Structure 1
Amino acid sequence: MRSAIGFLLLSVSLALGVGSAVADLPERQDREALRVCMDGNNMPFSNEAGDGFENRIAELMAEDMGVPLAYVWAPQVMGFVRNTLELRVCDVIIGAVAGYEFVQNTNEYYRSVYTLVVPAASGIEATSLEDPSLQGLRIGVVAETPPMVALRGTGAVVVGYPLMVDTRVRAPVRDAVEDVAAGNTDGAVLWGPLAGHYASLQNPPLRVLPLVDDTSGARLDYRITMGIRRGEPHWKDWINDFIDRHQEEIHAILREYRVPLLDRRGQLIVPDNEGTS
């Protein structure tokens, strides 16, 4: 379970079981390299070829530190944090949802939202799960994700995709997007960074509508931080300073990957040279 669940709690949310005594050791003062805990097959976030936006951000961090970049590759499944960060074989997870209890969170470096993916020519302009235009439409959603319950109450025909899969052979978000492109469904409600990536791979590309006006009660937007070990205040301060100094560059990288970005008030950030969706 990797890319298929990245939209739910992103990057590390299924990594359970930490608390190793190793975490109680003193904070490392000398960092001869930027050692990043990362999944090698989790696009658009990361891969071993360095193609993901988390790879790009890690490169920016290493350049700022003036040290080499070293990856510790591990699939983001059960025990990811325990087997990487808590063993001190690496020092930072680039994407961790704010409030994730098994790491110390830095400041957020982006905030994104669930989206509605639709064909470019559909004419649908919904930015809420409660939009009446969704009634009667076949809408895909990955099971057990935050929009699932709210979508069932819209009058849409919900087409479910399994959450728990072997991603070596299946990719639910990709499948949901490809079904929209093929006309098997009218749309799909998916986590923004994944939606933007897979929608852009279709020919022609699909439209991605951030659900920024939703009042259904479903939690659809999440703040994304970096995750480090507890008890490392100097490391946290450095990363927070890095985020502050490079926020515009980080956002520029994320825009290249078509990640819908929200400001601190939850409003969609639209660059001056772009349209609304």
Structure 2
Amino acid sequence: MVGGVAAILVALIAAPSARAQVSDLVDRSTLRVCADPANMPFTNEKGEGFENKIADLLSQKLNLPLDYTWFPQATGFYRKTLGEKRCDIVMGYVAGGDPVLNTNPYYKSAWVLISKKGGDLEGVDSLEDIRLKGRHIGVVAGTPPGDLLARNGLMSMAKPYSLTVDRRFDSPAEQMIADINSGEIDAGILWGPIGGYYARRSEAALDVVPLVKERGDPQMVYRITLGIRPGELNWKHQLNDFITANQPEINRILLEYGVPLLDEANQPMGAGK
């Protein structure tokens, strides 16, 4: 019992110092964001992505000037950004993704199947659908949908697209959309925010269906958070308050970019939700 009381006393004595230390890790004079300089529809140096717009909103609500550190989202991104304290927040981190501390989610989306509107694959909402047998399906190499294509016997005729590219010069998502339009492939699978954005910009009308019915791992539905350094709990609470207070405006921004938003029941969300 004495040991337990002593431990509690030590924790109470140390608490103010610990809180100050955590608070000091965040630069309160500016909103410092690390982001990819060429990663539409998420971010670019011109501020045209939806994560740029959400960062703008956060900057306004906190009444802080917005300061970007640009770094490609590739190997070493966390270490060279948050890890080296070059910024205090990264937009768009999967919930539970190491090594960051996640805020509450500010949206949920899914990988989507894209095909031509009016085609015989329109409305297909599962990779188990028999209509996909023998079809050429585009998939980004090394992403979760590849496992499901293999499980359903669809990989042999799939067309792979590169995962890691210099987005200033190459865009696998745009190439996949062009291949659907030309008939090079029958359908394609992209992460929802990417697929929804580029499908909306397509020259032909495309059907975009979230893959929310897939069973087992890997999952196709993900919650997306803001990523910060572990231990910065005060900063996390402040960001959570921002998300709660501004969720309708955040949703509006996401929907403007064609992001397929899902509610807690994995049903599509419209502008009023």
Which band: TM-score by shorter chain? 0.7 to 0.9
Q: Which residue of 2 aligns with 1:141?
A: 139
Paired with 2:98 and 2:216, the residues of 1 have a C-alpha distance of: 26
Distance 1:30 1:78 in 2: 25
TM-score for the superposition, normalised by structure 1 = 0.84
Indicate if the aligned counterparts of 1:97 and 1:222 stay in contact, CA closer than 8 A: yes
Q: Which residue of 2 aligns with 1:27?
A: 23
Deviations 1:87-111 (A, max 9, x none): 2221100111111111111111011
Higher Cα radius of gyration: 2
- Structure 2 Cα separation of the partners of residues 35 and 166 of structure 1: 24
Question: Is 1:39 the equivalent of 2:36?
Answer: yes
Instruction: Encode CA deviations 1:198-256: one digit per residue, 9 max, x unaligned.
Output: 11221124221111222364311111000011121111000001001111111111000
Give the Cα–Cα distance (whole angstroms) in 2 for the partners of residues 271 and 66 of structure 1. 26
User: Shift of the alpha carbon at 1:171?
Assistant: 2.3
Count the aligned residue pairs.
250
Matched, 1:90 2:87: yes
Change (3 A) 1:190 1:30: closer
Q: List aligned pairs for 1:6-85, cutoff 5 A.
A: 26-28=22-24, 31-85=28-82
The worse-fitting range, judged by mean Cα deviation, of 47-56 and 93-102 is 93-102
Give the unaligned 5+ runs of structure 2.
1-20
Structural RMSD (CA): 2.0
**Structure 1: unaligned runs, 5 residues or longer:** 1-24
Q: Secondary structure at the match of 1:246?
A: helix
Which ranges of 4 or more aligned residues in structure 1 deviate by more than 6 Å? none
Map 1:1-277; keep pairs closer than 5 Å: 26-28=22-24, 31-123=28-120, 124-156=122-154, 157-215=157-215, 217-271=217-271
Paired with 1:143 and 1:58, the residues of 2 have a C-alpha distance of: 30
With normalisation by structure 2, the TM-score equals 0.85
Is this contact kept in 1: 2:114–2:187, CA < 8 A? yes
Task: Sort the Cα spacing of 1:248 and 1:45 in 2 relative to 1 into closer, same or farther, 3 A.
Answer: same
Render the CA deviation track for 1:64-87: whole Å, top value 9, x for unaligned: 001111111111122111112122
SS in structure 1 opposite 2:23? Answer: coil
CA distance in 1, matches of 2:187, 2:53: 30
Name the structure where helix makes up a greater proportion of residues: 2
Give the AA of the match of 1:146: P
* Mapped partners of 2:268, 2:34: distance in 1: 30
**Displacement of 1:121:** 2.3
Conserved? CA contact 1:115–1:209, under 8 Å: yes
